[in-house]
A and B are shown apart, each in its own frame.
Chain A
Amino acid sequence: MKNSTVSFLLNNDVVTLDNLDPNLTVLQYLREIQFKTGSKEGCASGDCGACTVVVADLERNNPNRLHYKSINACITFVGNLHAKQLITVEHLKEGAKLHHAQQTIVDNHGSQCGFCTPGFVMSSFALHKHNKAPTRAQVLEALAGNLCRCTGYRSIIEAAITSSEHIEEDASALHYQKTVAELTTLKKLSSPILSGNGHKYVAPKNINELAYELVSEPKSTLVAGGTDLALSVTQNLATINQLVYVGNVEELTTIEETATEIIIGSATSYSQFIETLHHYYPDLGEMIERIGSKQIRNTGTLGGNIGNASPIGDMPPALIALGASITLHLNGVERTILVEDYFVDYKQTVLQASEFIKSVQIPKPSNGQTLKIYKISKRIDDDISAVLAAFFIEINNEPQEALKVANIRMAFGGMAGIPKRAKATENIIIGKVLTKEVVEQAKTALISDFQPMSDVRASDKYRMTVAQNLIEKCYLELKFAQESNVIETRVVNYA
């Protein structure tokens, strides 16, 4: 296998990385090697957005078009830039003229200390690249990963909501075709490699290359978005010897649908699959919109959320409730298991050495099936759940058997060392007509399913009480719906 170097466009210039430690983040690269200090380090953990930069990539289904997305430079490894365009805040101004995304912040008095400002500019820039007249809701969704401690946000919202429809094309638009051509050329290079300081980064382009890398170097660390992995470097000061990037692997970045299933490649980002899942399961779509931030959803992947086996990942409980399966690949041999069976114990899974997650299969809903998801956290946006509850309910359609539960799968995150089903509780409910009494029995049964712990996010008692109350809430929502009673039941729906 012949490798090329990691090459990308830094704004308009082709850059080739050589003899550089692949543990380096994009932010470190920009600030310490390129001396571009416009992008700020506020946390080095992807929580504040001060480092936000924009990455342009060829659209998967239309390689003549560019897709612009905001990412956190502080938790993106520099190798991930290969064959992409990195756009930084310094690049937007043309001569003395500020870009629309910049001028609107000035006009609305949206910068005070200014430290978060470049990040907001870049998030707004990315938003307007695909949506020149965003709604308030779209602005909030795009900017929720940028923290500001000074303004109280009103002025920044006003700035970002200002239409860019009648603004002349910016420099990136004028260079559009050239950029497409350059990225197309870079894409055609063979799989890139980056070495430095005795550490290595490889980015295989297909599943065979990936399998080969993992068999020859079983101690390799897989990286997709890196939104969790990079924290081990920036926060725990770890050094990773060999990084294997899965984001370029053709077979891992697809979304397919069959008559009964949605099949999502493990290296597909939230932003890529949210629409499909929202279509079939609105609650799931809304929950995904609250996972991390726009920047995190643009890079974080489904495989990553399952693979790191966190007890507080939000996708696994949803997938378990849906009865989704997962396909694992080891040196050409594949096996498919239920997501539920993937998790063994705290941070332990059935994944073997050199094996990787290829895809996740999610069943499409059939008549009478409803997915209810509740994400409970201290802050509504960009916060890890204290409790995540996912209930997949099959209810008889017969009017005389209203609210009779034919089947239910209830899975929780944050309630145990792994994402887990509440089987005792399910057994109470299955086959019964939902009533207040059944709900009370289910609440009691939940105590035998879980013994949650206390931590910085919530106490054990709160976790249990809320989990129990969510069963009640689910019941009330089903009841209201059945009675055609339009009553708002969730505060998150108040924008």
Chain B
Amino acid sequence: MKVTCDRQELLTAFQTAASVVPSRSPKPILQNIKLEVSESGAILLATDLEIGIRIQVAGIQVDVPGSAILPLARFGSILRESSDDTLRLEADGQSTLVRGERSEFKLPSENPQEFPSVADFTEKSYHELPARALKEMIRRTIFATDNESSRYALGGVLLEMGSDKITAVGTDGRRLAKMEVPARSEGGHQSGDSMTIVPTKAMQLIDRALSDGDAEIQIAARANEVLVRSPRVTIYSRLVEGRFPKWRDVFPQRTGSSKVDLTVGPLYSAVRQAAIVTSEESRGVDFSFEPGTLVLSGRVAEVGQSRVELPIAHDGPTIAIMLDPRYLNDFLKVLDAEKIVTIELKDAESAAVCTTDDGYGYVIMPLARER
């Protein structure tokens, strides 16, 4: 293999791929990144066998096609430290030669044939949606997942793919975030009986690897894996095995509850203020929805008390509920300050439901003080 490459382009792609590389692995070759060069272009491949990524590298001039195994730490340092615009790479299967204008590195390398294959996107049926929508969906659900759960598979985001939309759900058993985005189904692609639970780590990678500028993203789910393709990147991930709770049963569908509209910015600020006087052992903040005012009060014996008021458009009876402000903040953090959220409440024992007009829903289970 013999190529000349643009250092900056290669560095960007290399860093994205590097986030997949396992820090410890029984297969040492996985701690490298593979560069595959053909006449048509170059791709970087990395995998930890759970998640895999293929990234196209721009700015490569191919002299001789082939492939090279690039050691993560050393080659990454070379890319970062070098000040040359372009680097020449030569690989013969045993070592890799990196040449700058006034520098030269020779790195021993493993056999490219031994690098496991990284699945490519060959699906004919898939869902298609804009990158921006997919990234928004991930950001709004990923924070609610829980990697520790033993009973349910909560360590990932559940994707339900219908004919014209994708619904993503993340929960840790105490709160649940649900996001619906419109998506076009190609070739009759739908998620079937098996649950498509994409690991949190893969979701983070997808969010990072895609840019808002990317146009349409294709996403395809198989029995135990999911593939995501953008024009530059293909990401493969195994799915989380296990059961996801029946979230539709949990998501309250009720009538006769009170609804209050609030603007995200002021609410976020008020909740953060009230949360100042909470502690790890005593984390509840009392939310009292009174006519015209929302009163947030926190009280912890050795920390102090807080009382924050917020004018609201509520004229029904007073409803009091105690919530963990961190759960509410997680939700408010991913929304724009001008956005309007609707908080729906029934009583102190029932879940609080927050919704926005763009398909986002969030359920928080209340706290109760010792009776």
- A and B form one complex: no
**Residues on A facing B (Cβ under 8 Å):** none
